[in-house]
């Protein structure tokens, strides 16, 4: 019993969802209260037929929102030196060498994680280092798992320089359903594994561009746990 309570304490609601959950609860209550009076005036038995259905639907939708905004408290267990940790929950959809034309103008190892609406949508820093810059780009809303989503979709780029001078690019990408990317990283600040990089609302994706000398530690379609799964090791 004590272990179960301990686990429950490690789950919290992300700050991006507190106001949305409150407003949604108020809206659901207001709609059902209005229906209660309208149905009572229409027919005395209408309440008994309709209200359980509307309350059930409203409660289900609110619980879906609650599940989306859950934010587990996680800490990476072990030495983080030269490790690249998954920045998000989801599964590996891209694992290949690609030409990166925006910043590096050379080949990079690209590891992409797709997040479904059922995944935790908080994003973590994948490495320890210093934030060189953060840039936001407007764009389309293709399905996040498509290759063209990385460059054409709305996205936010965070460049991190590790202690030994290696540059890691993290790209938060909006998907077909996602409409808001939040980035907490600030230019010039130190960043560490276990800290939140940002948050993406609804289905989305996170790309990590690594030097070709990095060794991938994951495979295609492998599930990942943000701030827990080691996705690569730097040289």
Active-site positions?
A: 204
Cβ-Cβ contacts under 8 Å for 125 (sequence gap 6 or more): 87, 160, 170, 185, 191, 192, 193, 194, 195, 196, 197
Q: Exposure pattern of 128-162 as b/e (b: 16+ CB <10 Å)?
A: bbebbebeeeeeebbebbeeebbbebbbbbbbbeb
Terminal-to-terminal C-alpha distance of the chain: 44
CA distance 178 to 164: 35
CA distance 228 to 133: 25
């Amino acid at each position: 019993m004590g272990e179960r309570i301990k686990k429950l304490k490690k789950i919290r609601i992300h700050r991006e969802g507190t106001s949305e959950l409150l407003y949604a609860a108020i809206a659901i209550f207001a709609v059902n209260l209005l229906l209660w009076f309208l149905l009572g005036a229409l027919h005395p038995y209408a309440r008994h037929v309709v209200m359980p259905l509307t309350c059930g639907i409203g409660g289900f939708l609110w619980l879906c929102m609650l599940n989306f905004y859950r934010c587990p408290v996680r800490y990476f267990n072990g030495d983080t030196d030269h490790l690249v940790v998954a920045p998000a929950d989801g599964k590996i959809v891209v694992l290949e060498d690609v030409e990166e034309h925006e910043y590096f103008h050379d080949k990079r190892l690209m590891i992409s994680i797709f997040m479904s609406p059922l995944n935790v949508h908080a994003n973590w820093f994948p490495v320890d280092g210093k934030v060189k810059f953060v840039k936001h780009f407007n764009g389309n809303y293709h399905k996040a798992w498509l290759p063209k989503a990385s460059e054409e979709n709305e996205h936010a780029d965070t460049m991190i320089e590790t202690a030994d001078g290696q540059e890691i690019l993290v790209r938060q990408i909006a998907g077909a359903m996602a409409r808001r990317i939040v980035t907490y990283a600030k230019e010039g600040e130190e960043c560490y594994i276990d800290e939140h990089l940002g948050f993406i609302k609804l289905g989305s994706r996170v790309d990590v561009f690594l030097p070709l000398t990095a060794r991938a530690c994951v495979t295609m379609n492998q599930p990942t746990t943000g701030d827990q799964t080691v996705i690569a090791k730097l040289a």
